[in-house]
Structure 1
Amino acid sequence: MSDTNTGRKGLELEEVLKEYFWQAGYFAVRGAPYRLDDEDVTDVDVWLYERPAALSRRRLIVDAKNKTKPKAAERLIWARGLQSALNVDGAIVASTDKRPSSHRLAKSVGVTLLDGGAISKLVSAPKLRLGDQYSSEDYDSFFKAVDTARRNAEWRSAMLAARSLLLTNFGIHSANMALSVAGFFGEQAVQAAPKSEPAQVALRGFYSACAYAAIGLDFVLADLAFQSHEERRAALISGVRYGHTNLREALASVRTAVGLVRQHVSNGNSIAAQVERGFDQQAGRVPAEIIADYVARLSATDGLFIVARELERNAFKVDITHFDALSVEARSLLGVILDFHTISREKIANAARGSFANPTPAVANEGTLFPEDEIVSTRADGRISSEPSQKH
């Protein structure tokens, strides 16, 4: 089998796995880049986020390899190491390997193994074929096409920046980056010609970025669950404005720098006062209250998670849903983010009209996933467990 065919089968498996976990109730993202010091180290085939309970959040990574000569042991050890580096809750390896030794290794390192039998069931399941959804490759190609036409890499870079922080700075930092990217794509959507392809692509980017912001903020809420409404609101304002939910810790480095200026610079007291006043004024111009007021009310619900899934799903739709046809909850979140960036809701709604041509995705078939023979073990609540399955 050629490398090209092997690579294509690997991408198809990643898409199947994304759809499988999506239908199982996860928020799933393909191709999130892992970056260290602005250098791309690798990427995660599928990144998963779930909200099994009000106080519980889980993140998992999936490594998928659909090769004629699998190296399951290598992938299991690699996935376990990446899980540790990313500090996520679990890792899953999908491999065509069926050897009992691979299952023993998977159990010993605490990684879930989907073996060749499981993969065969997944890739042959009509329920997991794309229907009204673009593949991740098709989706990303839209942003590349806009960048090519404009002779830069701005749009693609913005989307990758939002995805990369899902891995390394998930929470308030990833939410803030996603909010920034949402503002960028929102502005691009309203500046583009109505119903044009750039307007459509920008709208897709806007929906995805808003979804990433929502799950990042949902993750933050887990740590604020036992605080009062006012305490949650204050923490969120600090997080959006300064990048840290604890205001004292957020300002510690700034106060230290101002103190050094006061001590070691000629006329330091005057200059330090100017720096401090300028910083406070600039920070005060960030309308963090708009986000905090909305999010603080949702701490006891799964509203952000549900809306994030709706928006991300809609971003990948072949015929993207008009703004006014989204759920009330989704429109509320989008409205809050638009107000945060002072972007016209009406203009965003107008940008949603029209759609791209369908690049012939596979046929969809909705339904319950494998009720008689589950691919991986499930917990009592019906969600997929990150524990190694005993059914092979």
Structure 2
Amino acid sequence: MSKKVCKGFAMEELLKSYFIQAGYYVARGVPFVYEGFDVTDIDLWLYSRASSATRNVTIVDVKNKKTPQAIERIFWAKGLAQAVKADNVIIATTDQRKEVKDFGKDLNVLVLDGVFLSKLSRTESELTRLSDEEFISLIDMYNLGKIDGDWKGQVLKSKSLLARGLTFDTCNKWLEVSRFFAEQILTKPSQLEVALRCFYYTLSLLAIGVDYLLRELSFVDNVERTEKLAEGFTYGSKGKSGLNKMLGLSLSLVEQFAEEGPSIARQVKSKISDEFESLPTQIIAEYFSKGEVARTLFNTAKELELYAMSKEFRPHTESSLETRALIGCLLDFWSIDRKAFSSSIVVV
């Protein structure tokens, strides 16, 4: 299922393969959306884990053209990095002028010039992985995907969340989308491989997001770490106090203008609070708070992404113990029967 890509995209795939081999988690073509407007795509989004308390997000701007305008791209990429809160910027350009590298160094931008790009070659990793175009093409082969929950749209939107920053809000969205694809695995046997690929990919994003959140919790004890994770997975980035503040502002209008306003407001607040507190987030909070899980989550994310993008598809039954444990924990969180889920993928 070879899908030809244009020259610029081919270079992006080469660089993606290079950075994966270097140990990064890599996402290609990350949409950057601002206030509903599609601004641009981040050519490559890189994530690395240096230690229990250190993470790094790098964006790569790739220009494989005869007139790459490298100096201008340095300005552009620096601004984009600030907008998406990236730590570092890399420019990959066919330009070989020394002045370009010097200018990049002055602005703390690493320039991979034409000399470097000319030495890139197709690696074994690239030959065994689907390109992003091939991955999306597989999803498009499901003719009902658009009306059946918009499979492609859900994957692309999940990827675009990387540009918003790694927060509890984005992690909760990835939890939601991953659950959607877990349910498709159970109910769409004819689309099993594609559903599994999408499931693995969105789960890899979730694993990266949680790994990033854990950097700030690496020096607190297990009880406090579990509490903070449970609160974040339950109430989002603003926490319980933020939710109560938002509810207070909204319900104050009900109290003022609705008949029997105070009584209605109390009932609404109580019902909403009960709904949130009934969420079984303690399950995943306790799982992610474990030291051995925190230490391996980055590698689990990379493994899940590999399972999603491998040309020769394999189900996660052959994956590491850590990956299978993560999936099992999330199935419990979603109240999806583990045996039923395992039985549904035996036919792959």
Please report the TM-score for the alignment, with normalisation by the length of structure 2: 0.92
Equivalent residues, number: 344
Shift of 1:260: 4.3
Letter in 1 for 2:302: R
* Aligned twin of 1:208: 201
Task: Indicate the SS of the match to 1:57.
Answer: strand
Shift of 1:144: 2.0
Shift of 1:121: 1.0
Q: Where do 1:317-332 residues align within 5 Å?
A: 317-332=310-325
Q: Distance in 2 between matches of 1:350 and 1:68?
A: 53
* Aligned twin of 1:158: 154
Shift of 1:342: 1.8
Task: Indicate the SS of the match to 2:128.
Answer: coil
Q: Distance in 2 between matches of 1:35 and 1:217?
A: 22
The answer as to 2:198 corresponding to 1:188 is no
The answer as to 2:50 corresponding to 1:42 is no
Letter in 1 for 2:183: E
Task: Give unmatched runs, 5+ long, in structure 1.
Answer: 356-392
Higher relative contact order (CA 8 A, sep 6+): 1
- Worse-matched range after superposition: 19-28 or 290-299: 290-299
* Aligned twin of 2:304: 311
Q: Where do 1:40-119 residues align within 5 Å?
A: 40-119=38-117
Q: Distance in 2 between matches of 1:213 and 1:276?
A: 30
Q: Distance in 2 between matches of 1:278 and 1:181?
A: 25
Shift of 1:43: 0.8
**Offset from partner CA, 1:261-309 (integer Å, 9 cap, x none):** 3355432221111111110122123221111010111388421111111
Q: Where do 1:1-392 residues align within 5 Å?
A: 8-122=6-120, 124=121, 126-127=122-123, 130-146=126-142, 148-152=143-147, 154-193=150-189, 196=190, 198-244=191-237, 246-298=239-291, 301-353=294-346
The RMSD of aligned alpha carbons is: 2.0
**Offset from partner CA, 1:323-347 (integer Å, 9 cap, x none):** 3211110001011112222223334
Letter in 2 for 1:97: D
Task: Give unmatched runs, 5+ long, in structure 2.
Answer: none
Return closer, same or farther for 1:331/1:24 CA change in 2, 3 Å cut-off: same
Q: Distance in 2 between matches of 1:141 and 1:317?
A: 14
Return closer, same or farther for 1:349/1:244 CA change in 2, 3 Å cut-off: same
Give the helix-richer structure, 1 or 2. 2
- In the alignment, is the contact (CA less than 8 A) between 1:225 and 1:299 conserved in 2? no
* Aligned twin of 1:377: none
Letter in 2 for 1:12: A
Please report the TM-score for the alignment, with normalisation by the length of structure 1: 0.82
Shift of 1:188: 0.7
Task: Indicate the SS of the match to 1:186.
Answer: helix
